[in-house]
């Protein structure tokens, strides 16, 4: 494993234009395109492509194309989870999605972050902070989850919310930035 990939996986600052990471990205482009093109293929064929992209995926997981990610191998999705059209999972860091999660259309789960220092940002330095979605979470359409955020089990996030801070379990959060408006029972 190359140094930049090791740094990326460790959540440290790295340069993404590394040949090994570019090859991993080309693999992702090929697999995402195959998955999107297999929209009318039998479920087993679609599942095989998704498994090659992400690793182990329970057969009960449903991901509607188009689906976009950075690498695929940093994503885990729990059983009976549904991901609607247009999802973007930028997985330079780990993305962990629990079981029984409902993800609306055009949801973005973002792990990459960039340097605030202009010189280092221009040089391309970035790192990733993990995103964790608990069991039985519902993310409404267009939700954006920022790097380093965790969303607790049984939480609902309203459509269009931007989640920039960790949310506790069992709450309803809405807005930009997302804020808790009430507990759910």
**In this model, does residue 185 exceed pLDDT 90?**
no
**In this model, does residue 173 exceed pLDDT 90?**
yes
What is the band of 71 on the pLDDT scale with cuts at 50, 70, 90?
A: very high
Q: What letters, b where the CB count within 10 A reaches 16 and e where it falls short, cover 170-179?
A: bbbbbeeebe
Joined tokens for residue 118? 């202009």
The count of domains in the chain is 1
Please write the tens of the pLDDT for every residue from 89-143: 999 999 999 999 999 999 999 999 999 999 999 999 999 999 999 999 999 999 9
Question: What CATH number does residue 39 fall under?
Answer: 2.160.10.10
What is the band of 60 on the pLDDT scale with cuts at 50, 70, 90?
A: very high
Write down the pTM of the prediction: 0.96
Joined tokens for residue 130? 């993990």
Question: Are 88 and 109 in contact, with CB atoms under 8 Å apart?
Answer: yes
**pLDDT of res. 53:** 97
Q: For residue 26, what are the domain limits? A: 3-183
Question: Are 136 and 99 in contact, with CB atoms under 8 Å apart?
Answer: yes
Q: Is the Cα torsion angle 67, 102, 147, 46 positive or negative in sign?
A: negative
Catalytic residue among 10, 30, 33, 114: 114
Instruction: Tell me, yes or no, if 47 is annotated catalytic.
Output: no
Please write the tens of the pLDDT for every residue from 8-50: 999 999 999 999 999 999 999 999 999 999 989 999 999 999 9
Higher pLDDT, 1 or 66: 66
**pLDDT of res. 1:** 83
What is the band of 181 on the pLDDT scale with cuts at 50, 70, 90?
A: very high
Q: In angstroms, rounded to a whole number, what is the distance separating the alpha carbons of residues 153 and 68?
A: 24
3-state secondary structure of 24: helix
Q: Average pLDDT for residues 146-160, to the nearest whole number?
A: 98
Q: Which residue has the tokens 């395109």?
A: 33
């Amino acid at each position: 494993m190359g140094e930049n990939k090791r740094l990326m996986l460790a959540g440290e600052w790295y340069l993404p234009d590394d040949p090994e990471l570019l090859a991993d990205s080309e693999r992702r482009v090929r697999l995402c395109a195959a998955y999107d093109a297999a929209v009318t293929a039998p479920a087993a064929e679609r599942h095989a492509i998704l498994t090659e992209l992400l690793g182990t995926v329970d057969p009960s997981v449903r991901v509607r194309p188009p689906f976009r990610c950075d690498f695929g191998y940093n994503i885990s999705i729990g059983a009976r989870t549904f991901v609607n059209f247009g999802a973007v999972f930028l997985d330079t860091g780990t993305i962990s999605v629990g079981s029984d999660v409902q993800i609306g259309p055009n949801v973005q789960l973002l792990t990459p972050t960039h340097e605030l220092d202009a010189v280092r940002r221009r040089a391309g330095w970035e790192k990733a902070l993990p995103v964790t979605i608990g069991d039985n979470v519902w993310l409404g359409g267009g939700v954006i989850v920022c790097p380093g955020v965790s969303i607790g089990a049984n939480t609902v996030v309203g459509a269009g919310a931007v989640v920039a801070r960790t949310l506790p379990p069992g709450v309803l959060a809405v807005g930009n930035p997302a804020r808790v408006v009430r507990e759910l029972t």
